[in-house]
């Protein structure tokens, strides 16, 4: 009986693992507010230089997030010093206001495409910097403190 129970537990644990995830990290914002000046940095080593990977930006928001979309500035730095900077826009809610993220309760988790089907060209440490770039309609100045973003992260998956 004990052997059967252990075997069943092992099967459940192995089937629950997602073998496509290479790396996943999150950083919490301060009290659910993402300051315009808070550039969130992640460093990671290239998984390999041969296989293709997908990179996602992962965000958690709560019901205090006041917008239906989100603008981000991303900067991916390579070990050789090359940098790719992008301005990204993501939909966060349906036109009726229903959140697009997954999860029950007040926190929704969003898995947003960042880089698709890429090969890391060189081994070494890469750095991903993320900052929010939200603006109110008709305003040149950015939103200083973006409420409702509780965590910011990234994920690398095998393609």
In the chain, the number of structural domains is 1
Q: Please state, for a pLDDT cut of 90, what percent of the chain lies above it.
A: 81
Domain that holds residue 77: 19-158
Q: Is position 10 within any domain?
A: no
Has residue 71 been placed in a domain?
yes
Percent of the chain predicted with pLDDT > 70: 89
Chain segment 50-70, per-residue pLDDT in tens: 999 999 999 999 999 999 999
3-state secondary structure of 6: helix
Residue-wise pLDDT tens digits, 83-99? 999 999 999 999 999 99
Is the four-CA dihedral 99, 29, 64, 103 of positive or negative sign? positive
In whole angstroms, what is the distance from residue 155 CA to residue 107 CA? 19
Distance (Å, rounded) from C-alpha 16 to C-alpha 11? 9
**Dist. CA 150–CA 29, nearest whole Å:** 5
Please give the pLDDT value at position 17.
56
Whether 65 and 91 have beta carbons less than 8 Å apart is answered as no
In a domain, 114, yes or no: yes
The pTM assigned to this predicted structure is 0.85
């Amino acid at each position: 009986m004990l052997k059967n129970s252990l075997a069943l537990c092992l099967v459940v644990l192995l089937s629950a693992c997602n073998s496509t995830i290479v790396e996943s990290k999150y950083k919490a914002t301060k009290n659910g507010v993402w300051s315009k000046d808070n550039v969130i940095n992640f460093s990671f080593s290239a998984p390999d230089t041969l296989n293709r990977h997908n990179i996602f930006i992962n965000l958690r928001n709560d019901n205090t997030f006041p917008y239906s979309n989100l603008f981000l500035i991303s900067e991916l730095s390579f070990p050789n010093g090359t940098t790719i900077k992008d301005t990204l826009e993501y939909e966060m809610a349906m036109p009726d206001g229903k959140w697009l993220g997954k999860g029950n309760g007040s926190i929704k988790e969003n898995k947003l495409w960042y880089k698709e089907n890429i090969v890391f060209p060189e081994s070494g440490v890469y750095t991903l910097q993320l900052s929010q770039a939200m603006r109110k309609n008709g305003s040149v100045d950015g939103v200083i403190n973006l409420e409702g973003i509780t965590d910011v992260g990234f994920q690398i998956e095998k393609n």
